[in-house]
Chain A
């Protein structure tokens, strides 16, 4: 009988509408039975041309397109944009604003990692932790509603300041949240980590060697789970990260479980950072008078800047060119999730479909950011 090489493999199309592909990832799989021979991620289903639209807007207005990139961790996106824009426009935010931004970014980092943990549980077939983490996330989003007026795409920060100042009530409520959150976090953590099936599904799966990770440009918790302690907050501090005390968690295990543990440890560190920031929060104005509302659209920038920040997914870079007009000439985004996704075909070679789903879940993809 003639043997047809092509008919040996099943070609399976996963997504863009599929329960395990967070958002609109499409994967073209070549399967040999249950084994994945090849994965080809196909992206672009959520492409909204954000970088180009930024060129059509004033410096202050382009911010909202960054909110919609990583919509799970919008505060970190805003910090990333403003790091670049303020450098280009030569506007220094007041001291209080820097601390407020750190608080908001870290709270949002917790929320983002919680969402990831829930979705990761769903990938593995665990329904229950999803609701536990979303309850905690909802508390953070309620805080955001009180501070910024909206839950997810907050549009809270602006050039040279923030939209609203913190008051005592807010600070009290954040403290209240931080007091009870670590207990809940441990509860959720134990739901996962004390489950033998969870361990067997994640341990030694999707091993990412540090050299490979570096050559693919992988950053964030993925890289730290491979044993490289690279964190922009530590290595190239922005805002006031050099004045708070925290550690960068790493793991030498390199597998999916290591990424899980690193993300949970990061949440604990974030709690620590927010607590310190609340203690050290200085008094002062909450915006730079040079960038008050009536002057904001007249800000002009010239030259080019690159600013990097540590978003929830990894190193988030914004490259911005100004030509002396009121609008940026070019905005480019280095998206961490996009770079992290590029390692998926390497990781899921010759693994089972179930493992492939676990690996793609461990990357923490948010498609607003991958496609921009």
Chain B
């Protein structure tokens, strides 16, 4: 029994269909709140981790061990006056951070969370094409990045968003090719929908990271570039272009970009562990899949943060070269190898 059915049973007095619709809405809300909390927690975790790496203490004033620091910062950002540049294109300027933030938060709805003790399966969607929707949402984010740069009437922002777009087109094709390899792999398993993330998890008797190390590598780099942290932060490149496309943003809108960065890291790690590391599958316990998913995600997050903190920025032309000359051929090779694997019946 999953969480949705449980909620629907509690709401059973409303009749069958209203109860289920309401249950869907409630569970989606739960996931959205979970997403926001997780992203805020991610900011705290990142700041503490960064401080440890850099031999500092990190936030330790607000609340015990500074755990409420993120809330204090958030409140500050909400209260702040939003300074907007003259000569901006008003509507896109205001919509751009929302595009990134909403696309990010919506992404959390389509993750298969797996079972958690007596609550049952937490997964919200039972869509057959959740993978497609997920990557559609991820593909929307660059639009926000581009818009924010070109409408804010600032040369740094324009340069930053141009770099961002150059980066996006050079990693998205390899990324989608490695996703295609996953779908091919999953389609070899009978009885599941290969375009459903939940089905992909079920198809992984052996984690796909072992079967497709090349695809795992391409996807890891692509998610890092999507989240645009160092070494792939050419769009922001804070020592050259001030902060790139977000230069003219302040207050809550800046906060959305900021949360968007950390949220993308977390969402990307979650997708990665769902698609390549077996998601909520795990040994020893059958009904604690959610915990396994979180553990796998945190491992990926820590790896990402360590990369972030130890790497300088790649020059944009070198990244474009890297994307088209190395990532793309690698992902094609991966696709071919996957074809052989599927033909050979290994999956």
Contacts and interface: CB of A to CB of B under 8 A. Distances in A.
Closest 9 CB pairs of A and B: A125-B313, A124-B312, A131-B54, A20-B239, A126-B312, A125-B312, A354-B315, A357-B240, A123-B239
B311 A197 contact: yes
B56 interface: yes
A121 B238 CA distance: 12
Given A34-B317, A131-B56, A19 B159 contact: no
Interface in B272-317: 309-317
A123 B55 CA distance: 20
Given A191-B310, A201-B315, A124 B239 contact: yes
Contacts of A131: 54-56
A166 interface: no
Contact of B240 (A121, A127, A354): A354
Given A12-B155, A127-B309, A195-B310, A352 B317 contact: yes
Interface in A94-144: 121-128, 130-132, 135
A332 interface: no
Interface in A17-33: 18-20, 31
A19 B275 CA distance: 39
Nearest to A357: B240
Contacts of B317: 34, 352
A357 B237 CA distance: 11
Contact of B237 (A121, A125, A195, A198): A125
Contacts of A7: none
A352 B315 contact: yes
Contacts of A20: 239-240
Contacts, number: 82
Q: Tell me the interface secondary structure of chain A in the complex.
A: helix
A128 B315 contact: no
A363 B238 CA distance: 20
Given A198-B312, A354-B316, A135 B239 contact: no
A200 interface: yes
A188 to B, nearest CB: 12
Interface of A: 10, 12, 18-20, 31, 34, 121-128, 130-132, 135, 191, 195, 197-198, 200-201, 352-355, 357
Contacts of A352: 315-317
Interface string B148-172: 0000000110010001000000000
Interface string B236-273: 01111110000000000000000000000000000000
Contacts of A18: 242
Given A19-B239, A125-B238, A200-B318, 17 more contacts: A10-B155, A18-B242, A19-B238, A31-B159, A124-B312, A127-B54, A127-B309, A131-B56, A132-B55, A135-B55, A191-B310, A197-B231, A197-B313, A197-B314, A200-B315, A353-B241, A354-B237
Contacts of A19: 238-239, 242
A173 to B, nearest CB: 21
Contacts of A31: 159
10 contacts: A18-B242, A34-B316, A125-B233, A126-B310, A126-B311, A197-B312, A197-B314, A200-B314, A200-B315, A354-B237
A31 B240 CA distance: 13
B140 interface: no
Nearest to B317: A352
A140 B161 CA distance: 42
B282 to A, nearest CB: 33
A353 B311 contact: no
A19 B156 CA distance: 13
Interface string B65-96: 00000000000000000000000000000000
A104 B63 CA distance: 44
B104 to A, nearest CB: 23
Contacts of A122: 239
Given A191-B310, A354-B237, A357-B240, A125 B56 contact: no
A357 B315 CA distance: 11
B53 interface: yes
